[in-house]
Amino acid sequence: MILSKTTEYALSILGFMATRNRELYPAEYLYAQLKIPRQYLRRLLTDLTKKGFIASTRGRNGGFVFARDLSTINFSQVIDAMEGPEAMNTCLLGFAACIADHPCAMHDLWLEARAKMVETLTKTSLADLREKYLKDQVTNDK
Amino acid sequence: MILSKTTEYALSILGFMATRNRELYPAEYLYAQLKIPRQYLRRLLTDLTKKGFIASTRGRNGGFVFARDLSTINFSQVIDAMEGPEAMNTCLLGFAACIADHPCAMHDLWLEARAKMVETLTKTSLADLREKYLKDQVTNDK
DNA sequence: ATAATATACTACAAAAATGTAGCATTTTAT
DNA sequence: ATAAAATGCTACATTTTTGTAGTATATTAT
Ligand code: SF4
Ligand code: SF4
């Protein structure tokens, strides 16, 4: 499963916004592009605003903009904000305490594999995403 | 999130059984040890039986035993059986198709990180778990 | 035979996650 | 001023996941 649908949506929204050239992204525009259920999308946009990834302006000509530089937002931050910081930090076997209070055979391997995943998610920023995206686009256009 | 509670339970049950020296594990015994909600645990035991990991015998002196050798059961198999084979194989951003139909910056890194995790889960069998567990136990007892 | 101790099954209940509807508020073009 | 176009908010609906209760069935010790 890895991530909840809600978190995937959040990444989807930010990932999409990061790879376009608009300044402003109204909810309705994002809905047309992403097909995330309308009202749910709106709620998520407000969430992402409260969490400081994007900023909103109301009224006519309103919409959403990134609240900070793309290079300061990485995937791990978004996941942590959506799922809580401990989501990627749980025991594989679902034990509160380890079996008989000592690490099982999986522990080191599991920690290592998970750490690698978290590292990947941490070191990739939305700026990286955008850069790679634009580069590929040029290549594809040839 | 990574895994559903149900899958964690399943791993918990099998992991526990694999590291003890009993032949037979009645549901009530597992309940006493694992504290997974009673009826839910029973349902999961029946599921795991139907999925061929364990076998049941009914009636007095009944209970559950492993249906096959511990070395033939790995974590990935259990996860696949519980969550469906595609659970660990989804797009990070939750896109059905990639943004604008071409891989994003995350793709290669994400695939690699996830592959590492899946590899770890595949190469570790319940026999490995047991072996490591018993070895540690000796060490701890000194 | 009977009682005790198991699992199997079915139907329901509660909680959490996801999705929907509608109105309130803000801003700006006209 | 007013209408249009946008976000904010609240309450509810649906679906999925997790948990519960109770009964049926099987096996065995006595
Ligand atoms: S040692 Fe095993 S049981 Fe303990 S937290 Fe790590 S994976 Fe879970
Ligand atoms: S390339 Fe990016 S959007 Fe496409 S499947 Fe991979 S992670 Fe998802």
Domains and CATH numbers, chain A: 5-141 (1.10.10.10)
pLDDT at position B71 is 97
The predicted model gives A120-126 an average pLDDT of 91
Nearest one of A66, A61, A33 to A49, comparing CA atoms: A66
pLDDT at position B90 is 79
Phi, psi (degrees; rounded to nearest 5) at A62:
-85, -175
Phi, psi (degrees; rounded to nearest 5) at B33:
-85, -40
Q: Which atom of ligand 2 is nearest to the CA of B92?
A: 7
The set of protein residues with a Cβ atom below 6 angstroms from ligand 1 is A 91-93, 95, 98-99, 103-104, 106-107, 110
Q: Terminal CA-to-CA distance of chain B, rounded, Å?
A: 38
Whether A142 shows a pLDDT value over 70: the answer reads no
Residue nearest to atom 5 of ligand 1 (CA): A91
Residue B20 contacts residue A100 (beta carbons within 8 Å)? no
- Whether the CB of B108 sits within 6 Å of ligand 2: no
pLDDT at position B105 is 60
Residue A81 contacts residue A90 (beta carbons within 8 Å)? no
Whether A102 shows a pLDDT value over 80: the answer reads no
pLDDT at position B104 is 62
pLDDT at position A21 is 94
pLDDT at position B96 is 56
The residue with greater pLDDT, B77 or A116, is B77
The predicted model gives A36-64 an average pLDDT of 97
Protein CA B6 to sugar C1' D18 (Å): 8
Q: List B residues 105-124 in contact with A (Cβ-Cβ < 8 A).
A: 105-106, 109-110, 112-114, 116-117, 119-121, 124
Counting residues of chain A whose pLDDT is more than 70, the rounded percentage is 87
Give the number of residues written for chain A.
142
pTM for this predicted structure = 0.91
Residue A142 contacts residue A135 (beta carbons within 8 Å)? no
Q: Is the dihedral of CA A96, A99, A100, A103 positive or negative?
A: negative
Max distance between CA atoms of chain B, in angstroms, equals: 62
Counting residues of chain A whose pLDDT is more than 90, the rounded percentage is 60
Average pLDDT, whole number, for chain A? 87
pLDDT at position B110 is 79
pLDDT at position A101 is 52
User: A141: how many CB neighbours lie within 10 A of its CB?
Assistant: 6
Beta strands, E only, chain B: 54-57, 63-66
User: B94: how many CB neighbours lie within 10 A of its CB?
Assistant: 20
pLDDT at position B83 is 93
Q: Which of A74-88, B87-101, B126-140 has the highest mean pLDDT?
A: A74-88
Confidence of residue A86 (pLDDT cuts 50, 70, 90): confident
Q: Could you give the count of Cα atoms lying within 13 Å of B136 in the half-sphere of its Cβ?
A: 17
Whether B97 shows a pLDDT value over 70: the answer reads no
pLDDT at position A82 is 96
Confidence of residue B74 (pLDDT cuts 50, 70, 90): very high
The predicted model gives B8-27 an average pLDDT of 94
Confidence of residue B60 (pLDDT cuts 50, 70, 90): very high
Average pLDDT, whole number, for chain B? 87
What are the chain A neighbours of B12 within 8 Å (beta carbons)? 93-95
